[in-house]
């Protein structure tokens, strides 16, 4: 049996971590097929985000994607107070969880000034050297929700996200 389009999409974020891919696929399948059941099952997580009541379908899908990857340590919510070292450490944790044997070199983001978008550009430059691409999850938030995919798969990730109804920006 070939993997479903959802499973293929999830694998871009989970890398070699097959167990995480299976759990993430199952969780995201729920939000795509039965949003109401998803909201009931994950009501506590949604409440922690300050989200109560029925959510618009797009917002729910986007939050579900991020929360699913956060639960698997495959995403990070960066804010403007994160130092370059903290961001590099978070990205390395994602790479380790993906099981690809990749890591940013110590100090890869050292000396980079600026927070927010400037820091994300520096992170993308460092990841690009590893053949990886930074992903920004589309949420109306005061943080930058981030993930990592293979740079060679960036266009496939964009297309699959669009087809499945998830909002992502791949650098």
Q: What pLDDT, in 10s, does the model give residues 97-132? A: 999 899 998 888 876 666 677 788 889 999 999 999
∠ CA 143-95-78 to the nearest 5 degrees?
10
| CB count in 10 Å sphere of residue 33 | 10
Query: Which residues lie below 8 Å from residue 119, measured CB to CB, with a gap of 6+?
Result: 78, 82, 84, 87, 109, 112
Q: What is the pTM of this model?
A: 0.92
Q: Is pLDDT above 70 for 1?
A: no
Interval 9-67: pLDDT, tens: 999 999 999 999 999 999 999 999 999 999 999 999 999 988 888 889 999 999 999 99
Are 102 and 112 within 8 A, CB to CB?
Answer: no
The predicted pLDDT at position 171 comes to 84
Q: Is pLDDT above 50 for 146?
A: yes
The predicted pLDDT at position 114 comes to 62
The predicted pLDDT at position 97 comes to 96
In the chain, where the domains are located? 5-170
Question: Would you mind telling me the total number of residues written for the chain in this entry?
Answer: 171
The predicted pLDDT at position 2 comes to 55
Task: Find residue 78's DSSP bridge partners.
Answer: 144
The mean pLDDT value for 124-152 works out to 92
C-alpha closest to that of 149 among 57, 166, 109, 85: 166
The predicted pLDDT at position 115 comes to 64
The predicted pLDDT at position 34 comes to 96
For the chain, report the end-to-end CA distance as a whole number of angstroms: 32
Tokens at 156, concatenated = 């496939």
């Amino acid at each position: 049996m070939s993997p479903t389009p959802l499973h293929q999409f999830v694998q871009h974020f989970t890398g070699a971590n097959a167990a995480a891919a299976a759990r993430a696929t199952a969780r995201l399948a729920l939000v795509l097929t039965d949003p109401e059941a998803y909201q009931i099952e994950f009501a506590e997580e949604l409440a922690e985000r300050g989200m109560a009541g029925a959510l618009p379908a797009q917002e729910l899908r986007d939050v579900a994607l991020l929360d699913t990857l956060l639960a698997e340590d495959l995403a990070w919510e960066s804010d403007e107070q994160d130092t370059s070292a903290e961001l590099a450490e978070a990205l390395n944790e994602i790479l380790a969880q993906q099981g690809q044997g990749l890591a940013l070199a110590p100090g890869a983001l050292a000396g980079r000034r600026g927070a927010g978008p400037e820091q994300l550009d520096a992170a993308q430059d460092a990841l690009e050297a590893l053949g990886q691409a930074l992903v920004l999850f589309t949420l109306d938030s005061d943080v930058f929700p981030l993930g990592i995919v293979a740079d060679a798969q960036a266009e496939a990730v964009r297309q699959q996200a669009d087809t499945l109804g998830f909002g992502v920006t791949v650098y």
